[in-house]
Every structure is written in C-alpha cells, then in structure tokens.
Amino acid sequence: MKQSLRANSNSSRRSAAAATREPLTEQSAATLKGVGPRVAERLERLGVSSIGDLLCLLPLRYEDRTQIPPIGSIAPGQKVLVQGVVELAEIVFRRRRTLLCRIADGTGSLTLRFFHFSRAQQQNLVRGARLSCFGEVRLGPTGLEMVHPEYSFLAAGDVAVSDRLTPVYPSTEGLYQQRLRGLIVQALQRLEQSPLEDYLAPMLPGDWPDLNESMRLLHGPPQDVDKDSLLVGRHPCQQRLALEELIAQRLSLLQVGREREVEPAEPLRADATRLGHFRRQLGFELTGAQDRVLAEVIDDLAATQPMHRLVQGDVGCGKTVIAAFAAFVAAAADRQAAVMVPTELLAEQHVKNFRAWLEPFDVSVACLTGSLPAAARHRVNEKIQTGAAQVVIGTHALFQQSVQFRALGLVIVDEQHRFGVHQRLALMLKGQAERKVPHQLVMTATPIPRTLAMTAYADLDCSIIDELPPGRQPVTTAAIPDTRRPELVQRVEAHCRSGQQAYWVCPLIEESDVLDSQAAEQLYKELSAALPSLRIGLLHGRMRPADKDEGMRAFKAGDLDLLVATTVIEVGVDVPNATLMIIESAERLGLAQLHQLRGRVGRGREASNCVLLYKPPLSQIARERLGVMRDTTDGFKVAQKDLELRGPGEVLGTRQTGLMQLRFADLVRNADLLPMVIELSDTMLAAAPAQANALVRRWNSGQMRYAKV
Ligand code: ADP
Ligand code: MG
C-alpha cells in the first residue's frame, strides 16, 4: 500500500512539471501532491477533475483564526480560536465514556469534551500541555465548553494564529477541510505560473476585480480584508466570481436551448376556422393575456423544431384553457397530447373540462391515474397505443413502461414545480418512436421575477399570463390566533347560510398522508358536531377515489356547504361559489403553498375571504410570512418574498437542483447581478462564442445530466 502511494506521488511530481505549461483546466487534479486514485475519486464527487475545477471550488464561508480572544471574553455561539494550558484531563462515565479536558489562560477556563477519542489523545492531553483550539463555544453543565474542537499542541512561547481567514469548502465523505485546503494551496501555486484566462475582463469596467486576483483572495483572504462584506458573501471578489458562474450557467442553458432547436419535431397546425369554432364554444372571451400567450403557443406548435415553452401565470388566471387549445391543435394534426398533472383530483377535474371543450369536436379524452383498476387501465393503455385516445390526462401513472403512445406530438406539464426533471424526461422519451421530439408546454403558477426566469429558465421560452379573467374580486386575508376558533365556527355557519360555500383546510401534520388524513377526519367530526345545520364534506388523500370524486362533485354542484380538506386541494381545484377559506396552522406552510391554497377562493364574482389560523406565539419568519399573505394577493410579490425567505431551491422546485447547479453564486443573494448576467451572456454568445464555450466548460464540467429535458 505504502509503496504504491509513493510511486504515485513520484509520478505525479514528474507530470506536474510537464503540466505547468498547459492551461489549468487541462491539468488533472491527480497531478497534485497527495492525490491518488482514492482522493481523485472523491474530488470527482465534488465535480473536480482539473486544477481549474479545484480553483472554482470556492469557500462557502470563512472561519476567523486571525485573533485569539481571552477565554474570559468568549460567549456561547461564537466560533473562536483560543489558547490555554491544560489544567485537568479526566475520563468520566456518565451516559457514555467521555474525555473532559479543562484549559485555562489566566482570564478564564474552558472544557473540551470528546465522546470519541484515541488512546494517543488521552495520553497527550495531560496537565501542563499548551493547546490551541478552534471550535464553537457552548454552555455545558459546568460552564463554557467546546465539543470535539480542532486542536494542536504548542511549544512554550508559540502562538498559532493565522494571518489569513480560514476558508471552509463544501466537503464530501472522506475529503475533509484540511485536505482540501492543502490541495488548494498547491493549486494556487500553479495559478501563479499559468493564470486563468479572464474572458469577462474585456467587457467589464475597470472597477471590477480581476479573475485571478479574486480567486487568490477568496481562497485565502488576508487579515485586513473587508470582513463584513466577505462574511455575508458580498465582497467585490465574491461578486466577480458569482457573476462569472451565473454567466457560465446561463450560457450553458442557452446552449442547451440551441441544441434542442435542431431536433426535428412534427409541426402541428389547426386551421383558423376550426380554432375559431373552438374558441366560440368556450363560454367566455379569452383575456388579452391569454390571447397573446395562445398566439405564441400556436406559433411554436407550427414549427418543425420542438416547442419548449413555460407558461407562468398566477392561480386562477386561466392556464387550463391554453393547454386545451394546444391539445386541440395536436389532435387536429393527428398527433396525441399527454397532459401530466400532480394529483388525481386535478386529473379528474381536467378530464371534465377537456371533455366538455374537446368532445364536441370529436376529440377523445382519456384519463390514466394510479388508482384505475387493472382492467380499466389495460383498456386505456390500449386506446393510447392504438391512438384512439387523442388526449391523455394523467398523473405519474403516465410514466409507466406499459404506456406506449401511437404518435405523441405534445407533452403538457401542469404545475411543473411538482415534478422532477427525470419524470419529464421519461415522458418525453415516449414520443421519440419516429425520431421526432414532442412539443413541450410547461405550466406553472409559481410566478418568478423576470430576470430570475431569464436566468434559471434560460433554455425555455417564457410566456406570462399577467391578467385575471374579468370580474374577479381580490381575496381579503386575515390572520387570527386559533384561540378565536369558536367565533370562526359561527362565521362559517352564517356564511354558508347565505348560500355560499367554504373550505376548511386541515393542518399539515407532516409529509404523511396517513396522519394528515387522520387529522382531517378528526376536524370533520368536530365541525359536524358543532355545525349540525350545515352539509359538510370531507376530502383527503387516503379516501377511495370514487368517494373523493363524489365529495368533490357534490361540493361543485352545491350539494355541500363546507368542505373539510387536506392540502390535496392545493392545486387546481375550481369552485367559483366557494368564497371563504380557513387554513389551519397556517404558520407551518410556506408562502407558495399558502398562495396556492388561497387561490381556490376568489374565483367567482363575489368577494372572498381567507382566514389564516395560527397557534401563537409566532416565530419571526412565520410572522413575516403571514404578513405578506395579508398584504398582497399578487403572486409575483408573494414569490419574490418567498425567494427572500426560503431561497430559490424551494421556489423553483426540482428544476433548480436538476438543471442549474450553482456551486457558489446564489440566485437570491446575487439577484442584483442578474440583469448584468443576462446582458453579458447574450453579448458573449453573439460576439465571442468560443470564449463562451470555454467559460461554460470552466464552471460546468459534467453537470448537465438532465440538461436536454
Ligand atoms: P389556473 O391558471 O389556476 O390553472 P384555471 O385554468 O383553473 O386557472 O382557470 C380558473 C377559472 O377561470 C376556470 O373556471 C376557468 O374556466 C375560468 N376562466 C379561464 N379563462 C377565463 C376567461 N377568459 N374568462 C372567464 N373565465 C375564465
Ligand atoms: Mg391550473
């Protein structure tokens, strides 16, 4: 073992000398000292194969070991470097065997606590030894302590203070900070010999720091660096590299979009007369925004390259009808359309709407959900295979192997944030039988700011429906503590007596269908006892589909006054006469989910109300969330707030983790850079495509797994 390691480091030293003339992106990380096959494999897991990659692995945060505060001055919660002399070391047996070691520096004392320790540690930590320790201070049973601090021994008179801030890198199993820091120090030495080419410098004004200088500073910030800005991630050098990474990421999405443009798709056209007939039988006029988006969709469908369009629009803006139009066009062109939805309830509702709109034109609509009995599913599968089913609306069941389309021309994904990228991929592949790629229409009610959409969704064309159908009344929202529940029960009674309907949404217990459903049944019993004069229904995820359907049908038909439901009604459900919604434990739901739920009311001509019940006391962030809900009904504002409070990963859904894998930049923290990101990446793509390519490769090696979806 030892021998092979030595042989390895010899050869890597030789190749290091040879490699120094190559650009760093071409120099393998394996040419660094101490990188054998095992370490190389662990680096790969961090996306690092070249030295250039290693330099792009930027610190997530910093530790300050440039000062040694007196022990008497430190406080719980701080991460600090201290020095002291061991006063006492002993092994105690409480619940588990623990090594305790007390050090003091004349101003105070601190206990080091080790649950795991070697015999050597035990033998070396003896009275009189001088230690330097770094760790988080906490309040233990006998005063201040550090659990498993990093520590080293000091000779008399030594001071182990660092003249730079200590970077903390994203680490992976078996590859820890010390190791990474050592490798990066070597990588920085290589950087001295062959600096990275700065592709952005010609486009940036002079007050932006240079690329190589930024790399050097961020991997080892000097003591006099502007710590305040560095620690919150807003130092100019951090901005510089965030800008570079965001540009690289956007460029790579733009490239993906371009590559897809050369794939062949079947052009789908319907003649204007038929479209006119279809439009006239809808029963309403399209809004201006719907009209505009529809025109974009129809244009895209007629092209010989596949559509990749994202339609964004707040809850209730009328996205379904756009989807129905597109499906109608596909059917008219003798292609099948698949509509993917996240819940059975939504599938059933879409099937009803699509049938009402499409069947008068002899377009057949089938439904495929997981709860279909085997025989029925078999029949639907057959219709899909023969093409007898022209439009297929379904849940995850659509991805199954057994589902084979005759000629899939269009894939529509509703509520796309609920799906993973790989699920869309599975469905897209079903259309490739004839080497033609299906058109793709993706719909989301999560409105995100434009510059963010243009960055995170740079590979898609975006349409926005920024107008609600006429006559909608804004929903008035109030947040009240659940101690006022009795008065709310009376309000619901009066509301329903007046002929309108209401939802009462049960608390979300956890991500468990069973517990949520039990909570719903409990609430249903309580409300039925308290409100004997009302007709009350129940809807939760564990009910038989037939019962769910019956409950929903009865509520829609007005045969029920009050619907007690879990958050299964979050997406899509549409009952205009329901004008009051009560949401239990609202403080536990995210903004996007509250906004979706609230979107179930305010769909008719009557004014609507939403009551957010919460259990006091509220945390700061919960108070902020409920405040946002009270103050705005604008989905874009809600989404902006959600971004600030929760971060883009949550807001963008799986897509964020599937496609745009940012290592360093952050779409919220760096939101102010986005306009510049868009401008510069467009310029670069047009004026310097080779550099654009190189930039993408620098930041993006091997990350675009799902990029083509
Ligand atoms: P979402 O965008 O949330 O999916 P839906 O498509 O469910 O919204 O539409 C909400 C309701 O508005 C439905 O009842 C739908 O029929 C209705 N609707 C859609 N477009 C219009 C319009 N232009 N005028 C009137 N009502 C409309
Ligand atoms: Mg919808």
CATH number at residue 120: 2.40.50.140
Indicate which atom in ligand 1 lies nearest the CA of residue 576.
14
Our mutation pick for probing the ligand 1 site, out of 312, 314, 317, counting the most ligand atoms within 8 A of Cβ, is: 317
Q: Tell whether 133 and 186 lie within a shared domain.
A: no
pLDDT, position 380:
95
Whether residues 119 and 22 fall in one domain: no
What residues are in contact with ligand 1 under a 6 Å CB criterion?
A: 284-287, 290, 313, 315-321, 445, 469, 572, 574, 603
Nearest residue (by CA) to ligand 1, atom 18, is: 318
Closest C-alpha residue for ligand 1 atom 10: 316
Same domain, residue pair 398 and 461? yes
**Residue (of 278, 280, 285, 276) closest to 470 by Cα position:** 285
Provide the residues around ligand 2 (an ion) whose CB is within 5 A: 572
Query: Cα separation of 337 and 687, whole Å?
Result: 39
pLDDT value at 296 more than 80: yes
Are 380 and 441 within one domain? yes
In a domain, 660, yes or no: no
Pocket of ligand 1, candidates 312, 315, 320: which has the most ligand atoms within 8 Å of its Cβ, to mutate?
320
Alpha-carbon gap, residue 151 to 89, rounded angstroms: 15
pTM over 0.75: no
Q: Is the pLDDT assigned to residue 656 strictly greater than 50?
A: no
State in Å: Cα 165 to ligand 2 middle. Answer: 50
Which protein residue has the closest C-alpha to ligand 1 atom 23?
Answer: 286
Q: How would residue 348 be classed by pLDDT, with cut points 50, 70 and 90?
A: confident
Residue 699: name the closest of 351, 218, 199 by CA: 199
Q: How many other CB atoms are found less than 10 A from the CB of residue 106?
A: 10
Task: Please tell me the distance from the alpha carbon of residue 573 to that of residue 578, in angstroms, as a whole number.
Answer: 11
> Which residue range forms the structural domain that includes residue 483?
475-632
- Integer Cα distance of 106 and 510 in angstroms: 51
Note whether 593 and 479 are same-domain residues.
yes
Question: Ligand 1 centroid vs 545 CA: distance in angstroms?
Answer: 25
Q: How far is the CA of 343 from the centre of ligand 2 (A)?
A: 11
Q: Is residue 492 part of a domain?
A: yes
**How many angstroms separate the alpha carbon of residue 415 from the centre of ligand 2?**
7
- List, for residues 38-57, the tens digit of each pLDDT value: 999 888 888 888 999 999 99
* pLDDT score recorded for residue 572: 62
Claim to verify: residue 458 and residue 487 sit in the same structural domain:
no
Domain match, 54 and 83 both: no
Tally of structural domains, the chain: 4
Q: What CATH code is carried by the domain that includes residue 618? A: 3.40.50.300
pLDDT band with cut points at 50, 70 and 90 for residue 570: low
Ligand 1 atom index nearest CA of 286: 23
442 and 330 in a common domain: yes
Q: Compute the C-alpha angle 344/381/540, nearest 5°.
A: 15
283 shares its domain with 406: yes
Give the number of the ligand closest to the Cα of residue 289.
Answer: 1
Q: pLDDT band at 432, cuts 50/70/90?
A: low
Q: In this predicted structure, what is the pLDDT of residue 400?
A: 79
404 and 551 share one domain: no
Distance CA 580, CA 631 (A): 17
Looking at the fold, whether 279 and 137 belong to one and the same domain comes out as no
Q: What is the mean pLDDT of residues 595-604?
A: 88
CA of 573 to the centre of ligand 2 (A): 8
Residues 37 and 123 in one domain: no
Which pair of structure tokens corresponds to residue 150?
Answer: 């990093």
